[in-house]
Amino acid sequence: MTGVLGDVDPGASVSIERVPDDDVRARLLRLGLLDGPVECRHRLRKGPVVLRRNGTELALGADLADAIEVTPAEER
Amino acid sequence: MSCHETRAPDVDAEETVALVGCPNVGKSVVFGALADRYVDVSNYPGTTVDTTEAAFDGRRLTDTPGVHGISSFDEEERVTRDIVLDADAVVNVVDATQIERDLFVTLQLLDMGVPTVVALNMMDEAEAEGVAVDAEALEDRLGVPVVPTVAVDGTGIDTLRERVDEACAPDSTPVSRWFDEIPDDVEATRAEKTLLVEGDEPTAERVPTGDIVADGGAPPLADVGRREDVYAHRRRRVEGIADDVSAREDRESSRAEWLSDLLLNPLTGTPLALAMLGGIYYVIGDLVAQRLVDFLEVVVFGEYYNPAVESAVGGLFPDAGWAEPLEFLLLNDSLGLLTVTVQYMLGVLLPLVVAFYFVISLLEDSGVLPRLAVLTDRGLERVGLNGRAIVPMIVGVGCVTMAVITTRMVGSRRERLISTALLGLAIPCSAQLGVIMGLLAGLGIVWWFGYLGVLLVVLGVAGLLLDRTLPGESTPLVTELPRMRLPRAGNLLRKTHSRTKMFLREAIPLFGATAVVVSGLQYVGGLAAIQRALSPVTGLLGLPQEFGRVLILGLIRRDFAAAGMTDVALGPAEVFVGLVVITLFVPCILSMTVILKERDARSALAMWLGSWTVAFGVGGLLAVIL
């Protein structure tokens, strides 16, 4: 079941499946956020989403988060 | 360890060593520890990015902006890429707590064939967080020297210094499998080939392509890029190495994480952020911009420096007519080159610049800055900016001049233009705000809220209009949140010192030139002519012609305008209109000078004229309504 990153609840783990913007995708790839499941640490109401993987935290603006497709990952 | 030197050192040129790594890995601390003597901070040619250089064992050591990869996503990355391409060797600083992230840059450097030594830094924090990294195993896997360090207390720095000579890169790395796709007649180094298969456009444009250009129309190397394949493959190698050489224990969340969570939760983060803003305002806007600057201007310059210079220099001039203009230029009361100009530079600008760079360094080093950006992203998105523009807006209330410099960190050119324009237009600086608050207090609280309301409306409408009309789209917030930590005093002072020095070196000549031009204009009667020319405008605002003098004062210093208002007899509505106009009206000469330095002349002129138009438009409208 795919959804968008903007709808993921804090605490949930997801795999990022599709990032429409080439540059943003390359930047996420470089940081290792496309390697496997990422944890959604925070989601501000109508605001950015904060992701974490292996101690690296990244904030993404709301519009961007709404354009990124994700699937739920197995809880570790 | 088998190693291959890929670049023969150039005998004539001084050998250069570049420090490269992700942001917040302790590069500048390693730099300070390695450097023999401090040399220079300067803007990298053609950019607003500053780089630091120092001597190091007879070589030149260059610190680069922190990046997550050698590429061209922003100005910092382009600067780092260019420095790496020119360097004879690289010291790659890796955060031991985040090797899954940092080894991407390491492997990229090795793919490029750049002779590299790895400084595995923050070993103490890694231990505290339950992250174990085997440096020897990492050295074996990478094939280049790996030196464990704790740069803040000097651990490992001597070994690092000794092993810089061993910097090397493997003969060949897996990235070469893509090199076949580059046409044979392209002359490129291994580093350039790596960047080419990663689709790095500036490299594709620069590399000589033989006669392919003549054959085809489109840029010949544009199709070569296999960025995602190359990156994904490198990520798999990073994961493999990180799994083999490190282990991460699950620990309870630390105090830093707890604080980070508090800041990112709007319920707790908003009051915390407001308290911090209050603190910043208190330091920059009150302690420094008001008290310290007042003391320096009134006592140091007003009572001692200016009178002393006037009598000393004034006495040197003969009573001849030819000497008069020169004496005026050097000593006049509005912007004399040896008196008021020096007073502005040393009595006003210097303390503000120091305080400001200190506060910014504090916010940067503690990790607070990106978290503030997350909190404010949504609001700023509405005016075509993203969360990173919060810094200029906060600093602007302290001092617009300083804030213009921080617009460097807000991202694209478009966002810098919008934030600079909003700063120049609708953010009153603390110097002016003090006088304005005093005048409004005499009118009553309703006028005060009316004043704030008008400014917010102008800010919002101007932001929306600029967002709609400027070409391009605003870039979304994509920002890493580094771990929160207590900043080191030494590092804060070093940053503050080097940034202040660089700023003043560029601003002083520019401000001096401005002073000469303004004094010249005043001497030949240009300013008086401007005041006469302004009379239709003051009429439009329903204000007496004396208000023209207030406007001219405002050109020089915004708070002069506010102070000048107290001399003109006006009714409440007139005071209100006058205050709105002098707030929206052009930024002061210092701000304009910095805007001119940071942006191009055309944008600066457009902002200048735009401020006039908006100020008189809104003022005229208010005059009609009231």
pLDDT at B587 over 80: no
Nearest to A47 among B235, B239, B377 (CB): B377
**CB-CB neighbors (< 8 A) of B381 in chain A:** 61-63
Q: Which of A18, A28, A57, A75 to probe the B interface (max B CBs under 10 A)? A: A57
**CB-CB neighbors (< 8 A) of A41 in chain B:** 261, 264
Q: Which of A24, A56, A63, A64 to probe the B interface (max B CBs under 10 A)? A: A56
**CB-CB neighbors (< 8 A) of A35 in chain B:** 235, 239
When pLDDT is averaged across residues B526-555 and rounded to a whole number, the result is: 81
When pLDDT is averaged across residues B423-429 and rounded to a whole number, the result is: 81
Classify residue B168 by its DSSP letter: B
Pick the residue with more confidence: B410 or B459? B459
Classify residue B413 by its DSSP letter: H
Inspect the interface and report whether the beta carbons of A24 and B476 lie closer than 8 Å. Answer: yes
When pLDDT is averaged across residues B410-427 and rounded to a whole number, the result is: 84
- What pLDDT is recorded for position B3? 61
pLDDT at B83 over 90: yes
pLDDT at B301 over 90: yes
A57 φ, ψ (degrees, to nearest 5) = -110, 140
Q: Which of B133, B249, B478 to probe the A interface (max A CBs under 10 A)? A: B478
pLDDT in tens, B348-367: 878 877 887 888 788 888 88
pLDDT at B248 over 90: no
CA dihedral B315, B320, B321, B323 (to 10 degrees): -40
Q: Which two tokens mark A74?
A: 């197995």
Residue in the block written with tokens 């503690």: B366
Q: Where are the domains of chain A?
A: 3-72
Mean pLDDT, chain B, integer: 84
Residue B542 to chain A, least CA–CA distance (Å): 44
Geometric angle at alpha carbon B137, from B131 and B143, rounded to 5°: 125
Nearest to A23 among B73, B248, B260 (CB): B73
Residue A16 to chain B, least CA–CA distance (Å): 14
- What pLDDT is recorded for position B12? 45
- What pLDDT is recorded for position B123? 94
- What pLDDT is recorded for position B10? 44
Least reliable range by pLDDT among B106-120, B168-182, B395-409: B395-409
Instruction: Please state, in angstroms and as integers, the Cα–Cα distance from residue B519 to each residue in B245, B335, B515, B594, following that order.
Output: 67, 6, 6, 19
Residue of A nearest to B22 (CA): A31
Count of pairs with CB atoms under 8 A, one residue in A, one in B: 115
**CB-CB neighbors (< 8 A) of B106 in chain A:** none
Q: Are strands B89-95 and B59-63 parallel, antiparallel or unpaired?
A: unpaired
Inspect the interface and report whether the beta carbons of A56 and B98 lie closer than 8 Å. Answer: yes
- What pLDDT is recorded for position B7? 45
Residue of A nearest to B70 (CA): A30
Least reliable range by pLDDT among B155-159, B206-210, B256-260: B206-210
Q: Where are the domains of chain B?
A: 16-166, 174-248
Nearest to A29 among B231, B261, B381 (CB): B231
3-state class (DSSP) for residue B290? helix
Homologous superfamily (CATH) of A3-72 is Ferrous iron transport protein A (FeoA) (2.30.30.90)
Classify residue B155 by its DSSP letter: B
Pick the residue with more confidence: B455 or B284? B455
**CB-CB neighbors (< 8 A) of B477 in chain A:** 48, 59-61, 64
Inspect the interface and report whether the beta carbons of B477 and A61 lie closer than 8 Å. Answer: yes
Instruction: Please tell me if residue B251 touches chain A, with a CB cutoff of 8 Å.
Output: no
pLDDT at B551 over 90: no
pLDDT at B269 over 80: yes
Q: Report the share of chain B in percent with pLDDT over 70.
A: 92
Instruction: Please state, in angstroms and as integers, the Cα–Cα distance from residue B77 to each residue in B62, B80, B121, B389, following that order.
Output: 15, 5, 21, 20
- What pLDDT is recorded for position B48? 60
Nearest to B235 among A23, A35, A44 (CB): A35
pLDDT in tens, B179-232: 988 888 888 899 999 999 998 888 888 877 654 444 444 455 656 668 899 999
Inspect the interface and report whether the beta carbons of B261 and A42 lie closer than 8 Å. Answer: yes
- What pLDDT is recorded for position B223? 61
**CB-CB neighbors (< 8 A) of A23 in chain B:** 73
Name residue A16's beta-bridge partners.
A70
Q: Which two tokens mark B297?
A: 């201007």
- What pLDDT is recorded for position B512? 84
Nearest to A27 among B265, B374, B478 (CB): B478
When pLDDT is averaged across residues B11-35 and rounded to a whole number, the result is: 85
- What pLDDT is recorded for position B210? 56
Residue A27 to chain B, least CA–CA distance (Å): 8
Q: Which of B122, B475, B477 to probe the A interface (max A CBs under 10 A)? A: B477
Inspect the interface and report whether the beta carbons of A24 and B104 lie closer than 8 Å. Answer: no
Instruction: Please tell me if residue B265 touches chain A, with a CB cutoff of 8 Å.
Output: yes
Q: Which of A18, A25, A31, A51 to probe the B interface (max B CBs under 10 A)? A: A31
Q: How confident is the model at residue B324 (pLDDT cuts 50, 70, 90)?
A: confident
ipTM of the prediction: 0.94
d(CA A70, CA A9): 12
Domain B16-166 sits in CATH at 3.40.50.300
Residue B479 to chain A, least CA–CA distance (Å): 5
Q: Which two tokens mark B185?
A: 């007649």
Nearest to A59 among B101, B235, B374 (CB): B374
Q: How far is CA B245 from the centre of its chain?
A: 37
Instruction: Please tell me if residue B68 touches chain A, with a CB cutoff of 8 Å.
Output: yes
When pLDDT is averaged across residues A3-13 and rounded to a whole number, the result is: 92
**CB-CB neighbors (< 8 A) of B266 in chain A:** 44-45, 47
Residue ranges of alpha helices (H) inside B480-585 are 489-523, 526-533, 535-540, 547-556, 558-565, 572-584
When pLDDT is averaged across residues B122-138 and rounded to a whole number, the result is: 93
CB proximity list for B197: less than 8 A, separation 6 or greater: B175, B178, B179, B181, B182, B224, B225, B226, B230
d(CA B222, CA B587): 44
When pLDDT is averaged across residues B146-157 and rounded to a whole number, the result is: 94
pLDDT at B100 over 50: yes
Pick the residue with more confidence: B502 or B484? B484
Q: Which two tokens mark B298?
A: 């009134």
pLDDT in tens, B55-78: 888 889 999 989 999 998 888 899
- What pLDDT is recorded for position B224? 64
pLDDT at B625 over 60: yes
When pLDDT is averaged across residues B407-423 and rounded to a whole number, the result is: 83
Inspect the interface and report whether the beta carbons of B73 and A45 lie closer than 8 Å. Answer: no
Classify residue B4 by its DSSP letter: B
Q: Which amino acid is located at A15 in the chain?
A: S
Residue of A nearest to B270 (CA): A44
Nearest to B370 among A41, A55, A59 (CB): A59
Inspect the interface and report whether the beta carbons of B381 and A61 lie closer than 8 Å. Answer: yes
d(CA B361, CA B492): 6
Q: How confident is the model at residue B115 (pLDDT cuts 50, 70, 90)?
A: very high
pLDDT in tens, B505-522: 777 887 788 788 888 888
pLDDT at B281 over 80: no
Pick the residue with more confidence: B579 or B439? B579
pLDDT at B8 over 50: no
pLDDT at B481 over 60: yes
pLDDT at A76 over 50: no
d(CA B258, CA A50): 15
Inspect the interface and report whether the beta carbons of B101 and A32 lie closer than 8 Å. Answer: yes
